[in-house]
Homo-oligomer: A and B are copies of this chain.
Amino acid sequence: DDTLIIAGRKFNSRLMTGTGKYKTIPLMQQSVIASGCDIVTVAVRRVQSNAPGHEGLAEALDWKRIWMLPNTAGCTNAEEAIRVARLGREMAKLLGQEDNNFVKLEVIPDSKYLLPDPIGTLQAAEQLVKEGFAVLPYINADPLLCKRLEEVGCATVMPLGSPIGSGQGIKNLENIKIIIEQSNVPVVIDAGIGTPSEACLGMEIGADALLINSAIALAQNPVKMAKAMGLATQAGRMAYQAGRIPIKTHANASSPLTGVIK
C-alpha cells in the first residue's frame, strides 16, 4: 500500500494533470484517462468565463472519479487569489464535489516567467487556511518559504521545477531535495517537467507527487505522452522505494573476473 494522502484524502496516483492547452476536448479526456491521474487542476477563471477551449469543460470530465483541484491562475495578488479560490469552491460544489475544499494557490504578478510572488502567496495561504481551505501553494523552490507555508497550515507545498510550460525540467533540483528532506507535508513538483525522464527523476529524489500539464497537452501525441508520464511517475516512485545503487567513480564489473577459465 503506497497511498498519497493530502489533507486527509487518499489518492492512488501520484501524477496530477490539468485541462489547459489541449487542441480538443476529446484529446484532453483521453489524455487524462491515459495518464491514470486521480487529480485534475482546473483554472477557475477560465471555466467561469467560458473562455475559448473551456466551454463544456465542466461536463467533460467524470467528477465522480476525478478529484477537482481548482486553481487561481490569472491572479496577480493575494486578494484576487482569495476571491477566485472561493469561486473555485462553489464550482466544485456545483459539479457534485460537496466536500472539496482544495485550492491550488497561484499568485503570479510576472507574465514573462510566470513565477510566483512569495509574499502574496504566503498572505493568501494564511487567509485561505483560516477559511477552511486545503491550500496547495505554487511557489519558487525556497526551503524557508516552504517552512513558513507549512507553519500557516498549507496541505502541501508545490515548488516549481522551472518556469511553467518551459519544458526545461527540474532546474531547482538541489533546493527541492532540501525541501523534501525538511517537509512535514507532501511535496508536489509543479511546472517545468518536459519529459518522462524528468518526471521519473522528481519521484526518485522523493517527491510525493507531480503536476504535469503542458508537457502532455502540447506533445505531438498527447495521449501517448500522458501514458508515458503515468508510467514514469510509477517507475520513479518504485525506484525511490527500491533504493538506488551508490554512484562510484570507478567501474564495477558486472561479471566478476575471479574464477575465469583461461
Contacts and interface: CB of A to CB of B under 8 A. Distances in A.
> How many monomers of this protein are in the complex?
4
A175 B249 CA distance: 11
A239 B195 contact: yes
Interface stretch (A42-50, A94-102, A129-137): A42-50
A65 interface: no
A221 B250 contact: no
A168 B244 CA distance: 11
Interface string A236-262: 101101111111111111111111110
A200 B245 contact: no
27 contacts: A46-B260, A49-B260, A51-B258, A52-B258, A114-B252, A115-B178, A119-B119, A119-B122, A163-B248, A163-B250, A163-B251, A166-B249, A167-B245, A167-B246, A168-B247, A194-B244, A194-B247, A196-B236, A196-B238, A196-B239, A197-B236, A215-B245, A219-B242, A221-B242, A225-B239, A231-B238, A232-B232
Interface in A204-254: 204, 213-215, 217-222, 224-225, 227-229, 231-232, 234-236, 238-239, 241-254
| A119, A238, A251 — most chain B CB neighbours (10 Å) | A251
Contacts of A221: 241-243
Nearest to A163: B251
A157 B239 CA distance: 28
Interface of A: 18, 20-21, 43, 45-46, 48-49, 51-52, 71, 73-74, 109-119, 122, 140, 142-145, 148, 162-168, 171-175, 178, 191, 194-198, 200-201, 204, 213-215, 217-222, 224-225, 227-229, 231-232, 234-236, 238-239, 241-261
B251 A114 contact: yes
B18 A254 contact: yes
Contact of A255 (B18, B144, B247, B258): B18
Main secondary structure, interface of A, reads loop
A252 to B, nearest CB: 3
A109 to B, nearest CB: 7
A13 B228 CA distance: 15
A43 B222 CA distance: 42
A117 B168 CA distance: 27
